[in-house]
Structure 1
Amino acid sequence: MSLWFTKSLKSKLSLLLLVAVIFPLLTTGVISYRIASNLTEEKEKLSGMNTLKQISDKLDFIVRDVENMSVFIIGQKDIQSYLDNERVDISLYSQNVAFLMNLASSKKYISNITITSDSGYPALSNTTVLKSGLPELLKSNTKAYESNSKWWTSLYENQTTDDGLRRVVSLVRPIRNMNYFQRTGNLSISIDEAEVRRILRDAGWEEKGSIWLVDQDNRILSSQTSEGLGLQLSEMLPNLSELEGTGGAMNYATERESNTVLYHTLPSLNWTLIGVIPTKVYTAQNKYVLALTAYAIGIAALLAMALVLYFITWVTRPLTEMARKLKDINPDEPIPTMEVKSKDEVGLLLHSYNMLSNRIQRLKVQLQQNEAMKKEVDIQALQAQINPHFLYNTLSSIHWMALMNKDKQIAEMVGALSDFLRFSLNNGEEFCSVQQEVAHAQNYIRIMSKRFQDKFDSEFYIDSDLQGRMMLKLLLQPLIENSIMHGLQKKNGKGFVYVHGERYSDSMTFIVEDTGIGIEREKLLNIRHQLSGISEMEGNNPQKMKSGYGLRNVHRRLLLHYGSENGLHIESESGGGTRISFTIPILEETP
């Protein structure tokens, strides 16, 4: 991928422009999908809240109708007369029962209407009540019942001759004398839970969801599937957060799925409708939006890619042709010119290229003429140049004269210098045998021992198997020079220089060790940093740079010729001498 990207301008422009076009498209698609998803969720919540409000209006109508009906019943003259009489009036009893039957039959949601007398008279009811849970509720909620002019019960069971066993919720309120306001009886109007359930079921709530009607104590009064009747809401929705306000929405998650909970409180009564919609209901609707968005983005991306590639090919065609011609150009032939078809930046570039090619052609002709003239001048200069053999012959003559004068030290020093120079020049060769490298180092030591008499001795330990092996030349002499100049010269008394050469499998290791003054820790770290190329002090301390030039030069040559793992390794401590080593591979053939 990286090779394709860096190979041509066309590929770079294509990739960059495709990214510049497709990325905004993808971003737009993602944002559009998220907006659509949020709108779907909000739409589902709004629809659910509207459904709860419609149910609330129906239930609120029933509650208000029952409460108005209770006021109407209490104010009936015959009801008041029946309860105020000193004895039971059978005629009034029959009239009131007929009245209650007619009234109850007109309201489908009314299960039964019952009036009890505090005087012990037979109860008035539209039907015969065989069994009722109301007395137990009144007994357990006496304080709440007696402290209010009207009181709504929780869900309980009621059995009558007309409807059988039913679950009902009742409005209970006391009946008082119209003249003396003394309590004469008790009125209860029961609402059939089955009718409330029908309203919940017919509201069109999501089939996979749930809807409950709960009272002020969070007990379930009704549900669309009779689920959880009489239970606390917390048993159906564990860990549900507290409902704030009269309506709203919140997220509710279980181990199996996540849900959205909607709630709305009835205006006339402290009852609350709780609706649960599984999140997957409206996320399933988002799949269509996602697919539609993906198709639209995909088509737009393909169209953008085709247009981008077409226009880039059209724009870069002259540049591609120019690059092809430059790639196949023959240095010995004239540079071909390009046809300029436009006046834009590419056309100006081609025009400049043509001008440059003409200029290069003229310079090439001029260079050839200059080279011919230079050769003639070089030939004349060579005739006046001193031949290196002249220098060797001169040194041999001095060496012979020293021997004639019986001055062995001068003869030995001149002979060593002659060999030293002959090896250094070496016809420009970079490699030599180990034997030649060691001989060169020994010649250097002979010269330096005459200069620093009685200052140091030297010993060479070279593996005989290495003598004919080839190595990069001029590696040992700079290390020996470093040991003499920076280690032994500054030492009080006589020191030693040891040179080791050993073979290890397919590599050879050379060590130059001295017994000089050593290197202080801080300076040693600085030298190591210099060798690794990361010293921050190198540019600020010219003296240290100068003193370590020979080591850095050897280190750099080792890295260049043998690789990054074959540099110098320096070990030293103050007053304890210095040890410098390097390891290089054994070459099978002469480089």
Structure 2
Amino acid sequence: MRQYIRKSLQVKLTVMMLLATTIPLILLGAFSFFTSARISEEKTKQTGMDAISRIQTNVRFITKDIEEMSIFLTGDKDVQQYMSDFDYDSPERERILTLTTNLIQSKAYISNISIYSKNKTTPLHTQNIYSSNLSKVIEDWNISGKKWTTLYLAHSMNGPEYTFSFLRAVKSTNNFEPLGFICISVNVQELSGYFDKPNFGVGGGDLLLLDTQGVVISGNKKDWLSRQWDALFPGSEQAEWKKKQDTFTYGGEDNKQTVLYQHIPDLNWTLVGLVPYELYTEEYRYIWLLTGSAVSLAALLTFGLNLFFIRHVTKPLKVLRRLLVRIDPNEPIPLYQFESPDEVGQLVGSYNQLGEHIKKLKERLIKMESRKKEADIRALQSQINPHFLYNTLSSVHWIALISNEHRIAEMVGALSDFLRFSLNKGNDYCSVGQEILHVKNYAVIQSIRFPNTFDLEFDIDHRIEDLPMLKLLLQPLVENAMIHGMQKVKRRGTIYVSAVKEDRGIRFSVLDDGVGMPQPVLDKLIADIQQSMDQQPSVPFGSYGLRNVNERLLLHYGPSAELAIESQEDQGTRISFIIPVKENRHENYDRR
């Protein structure tokens, strides 16, 4: 995988861009999550404080209303008269019960109003109270002023109920002598209705009302009533709550929760809110899901856009790489049509310019090599004085005739025609008839050198004798058949030369019935002849003529004119080629 990343620019850019975008997105997502979680927690705390403040307002309203009611009762003349008399069934008793009953019915948070008089042994209760633990929470019955009791248990017609009361001393309006006190009991069940739904912003949670001693006097959990805060939550001392309001975290991982508290002025009570961390977890999970979805979506969009743009940028580079890897040295460099003003477009433009420049250099080099070969040939031809050579051979020819040396005269005449055709005034092309005549002159010379060795037969289509062809193609093939085919047999052989016109062009064939070649030798000969023209020839000297003919055919006529060699051991060899038909014999037929 690492090696693949190193080799691929697209993968490198993709990985780099992915890391460059994903890591900041993850960091941003984590920062957003923790920031949102912290803000959500602070918001929950603030919402909880607001809820506690609203409940505190209700509690203060109730307590103030009870205190004002007690003031009203202490000044009532019937109450004053009732508490001053010793008679329990005084006429004021019914009027007081009627008054207090109306007050209780109009105030749902009041459960009972009791009048304790020093002049009477039995208190006056609005509701039937069978027994009460008030005496256990009042240390001194000689009450002066006012006070709130802690929670205690009272038995009435409704059964046992927890309650707490407000006590106010009653003095005579005449002589200010203490007459006793009024006890207004709070309906704890009705009061707890204010604590049922604290609405801390995340739903759920608990709300408690603690008195001056840290005892739970109201709340949304009945089983906590009359229990000490320090016993319910060990390690969280109420005495350490110095501020008017504050928050802190209580508990470990299993029961961790946020504690919010507010002190109620004048009463020295404390409202406490409890927010379990499970509620935060639910909200954290929502924030995490929202943040994770946003980060994932942003990462996918970023990755998709990066991949699209990277592919768009690297596509021309990949095409350039493919073109450069597949370049054939023998073929022109393929151009790539891509227009863009950026660096990639400039690179493609430079590549195209380089291809055009290399193409021009190759064409120039081919022309220079061709001109060099032509110059070498012309230089070689110029070193031979054709007229001097022809005149000399003509003189030898006539001397041989005068001396009756007809074979010498025939050989010299054939040699003169052979050389005249080979030079051909520097022309590369001749007619088919001239090429056949050249082969015949060569055969005359060789038949005198090697008498009774071979016969040469021709099968020439007379319609093609005037058509042009590249010169000196057949003579090397006949020479190869004569030297390698005929001289190695102990019998007189025959060489057949044919030229026929076909649909593809003119087919020339040289066939001998000599020794032939075994298949391995034939395969090696064909492979050596087909070697690239740029390579140093490794064929034997005797087969160099075949390679030269093959190269000239390829240079002038193309791959379709390549030599075809067929041979069987002890049966002979056939060499053939096809050239296109050219009507104009003066046309330049070199391939460009």
- TM class by shorter chain equals 0.5 to 0.7
2:273 is the counterpart of 1:278: no
Cα pair distance change 1:270/1:45, threshold 3 Å: same
2:278 is the counterpart of 1:310: no
The residue number in structure 2 matching 1:189 is 184
The residue number in structure 1 matching 2:259 is 261
Question: Are the counterparts in 2 of residues 60 and 268 from structure 1 also a CA contact under 8 Å?
Answer: no
The residue number in structure 2 matching 1:151 is 147
Deviations 1:131-172 (A, max 9, x none): 111122212xx3xx8686211111001123x43322110111
CA apart distance, 1:228: 1.8
What amino acid is the match of 2:131? K
The residue number in structure 1 matching 2:222 is 226
Superposed counterparts of 1:440-479, under 5 Å: none
The residue number in structure 1 matching 2:135 is 135
Cα pair distance change 1:255/1:346, threshold 3 Å: closer
Cα pair distance change 1:26/1:215, threshold 3 Å: same
SS of the residue aligned with 1:254? coil
Cα pair distance change 1:148/1:358, threshold 3 Å: farther
Considering only CA atoms, is the larger Rg found in Structure 1 or Structure 2?
Answer: 2
Match of 2:231 among 231, 235, 241: 235
CA RMSD of aligned residues (A): 3.3
CA apart distance, 1:71: 0.6
What amino acid is the match of 2:111? S
2:206 is the counterpart of 1:210: yes
Q: TM-score, normalised by structure 1?
A: 0.54
2:26 is the counterpart of 1:26: yes
The residue number in structure 2 matching 1:90 is 90
Deviations 1:225-266 (A, max 9, x none): 302211111222222364342333322233513212222333
Cα pair distance change 1:21/1:173, threshold 3 Å: same
What amino acid is the match of 1:30? A
SS of the residue aligned with 2:34? helix
Question: Are the counterparts in 2 of residues 214 and 222 from structure 1 also a CA contact under 8 Å?
Answer: yes
Q: Distance in 2 between matches of 1:71 and 1:274?
A: 30
Q: Distance in 2 between matches of 1:202 and 1:8?
A: 63
CA apart distance, 1:207: 7.3
Which segment drifts farther, 62-71 or 28-37? 28-37
Cα pair distance change 1:355/1:128, threshold 3 Å: closer
The residue number in structure 2 matching 1:110 is 110
Question: Are the counterparts in 2 of residues 36 and 289 from structure 1 also a CA contact under 8 Å?
Answer: yes
Question: Are the counterparts in 1 of residues 198 and 205 from structure 2 also a CA contact under 8 Å?
Answer: no
Question: Are the counterparts in 2 of residues 197 and 223 from structure 1 also a CA contact under 8 Å?
Answer: yes
Q: Distance in 1 between matches of 2:41 and 2:148?
A: 36
Q: Distance in 2 between matches of 1:307 and 1:211?
A: 53
Question: Are the counterparts in 2 of residues 117 and 123 from structure 1 also a CA contact under 8 Å?
Answer: yes
2:165 is the counterpart of 1:167: no
What amino acid is the match of 1:239? G
Deviations 1:378-398 (A, max 9, x none): xxxxxxxxxxxxxxxxxxxxx
Superposed counterparts of 1:414-433, under 5 Å: none
What amino acid is the match of 1:214? L
SS of the residue aligned with 2:247? strand
Deviations 1:17-60 (A, max 9, x none): 22223333333433333344334334433433333233222222
The residue number in structure 2 matching 1:124 is 124
CA apart distance, 1:335: 6.6
Question: Are the counterparts in 2 of residues 158 and 166 from structure 1 also a CA contact under 8 Å?
Answer: yes
Q: Distance in 1 between matches of 2:88 and 2:228?
A: 44
Deviations 1:286-338 (A, max 9, x none): 43343333333333332322222222122122222333344445678887665
Cα pair distance change 1:122/1:274, threshold 3 Å: same
SS of the residue aligned with 1:90? coil
SS of the residue aligned with 1:181? coil
What amino acid is the match of 1:105? Q
Question: Are the counterparts in 1 of residues 82 and 90 from structure 2 also a CA contact under 8 Å?
Answer: no
CA apart distance, 1:15: 1.6
Q: TM-score, normalised by structure 2?
A: 0.54
Question: Are the counterparts in 1 of residues 112 and 126 from structure 2 also a CA contact under 8 Å?
Answer: yes
What amino acid is the match of 2:151? L
Question: Are the counterparts in 1 of residues 262 and 271 from structure 2 also a CA contact under 8 Å?
Answer: yes
Question: Any gaps of 5 or more consecutive residues in structure 2?
Answer: 366-592
Q: Distance in 2 between matches of 1:334 and 1:130?
A: 119
Q: Distance in 1 between matches of 2:326 and 2:179?
A: 119
Superposed counterparts of 1:11-50, under 5 Å: 11-50=11-50
How many equivalent pairs are there?
361
Q: Distance in 2 between matches of 1:10 and 1:255?
A: 48
Question: Are the counterparts in 1 of residues 36 and 287 from structure 2 also a CA contact under 8 Å?
Answer: yes
Question: Any gaps of 5 or more consecutive residues in structure 1?
Answer: 367-591
Q: Distance in 2 between matches of 1:202 and 1:360?
A: 88
What amino acid is the match of 1:182? E
CA apart distance, 1:219: 0.8
The residue number in structure 1 matching 2:391 is none
What amino acid is the match of 1:194? Q
2:317 is the counterpart of 1:324: no
Q: Distance in 2 between matches of 1:17 and 1:120?
A: 93
Question: Are the counterparts in 1 of residues 14 and 310 from structure 2 also a CA contact under 8 Å?
Answer: yes
SS of the residue aligned with 2:62? helix
Deviations 1:342-381 (A, max 9, x none): 3321233344456667889979x99xxxxxxxxxxxxxxx
Cα pair distance change 1:103/1:308, threshold 3 Å: closer
Q: Distance in 2 between matches of 1:44 and 1:207?
A: 10
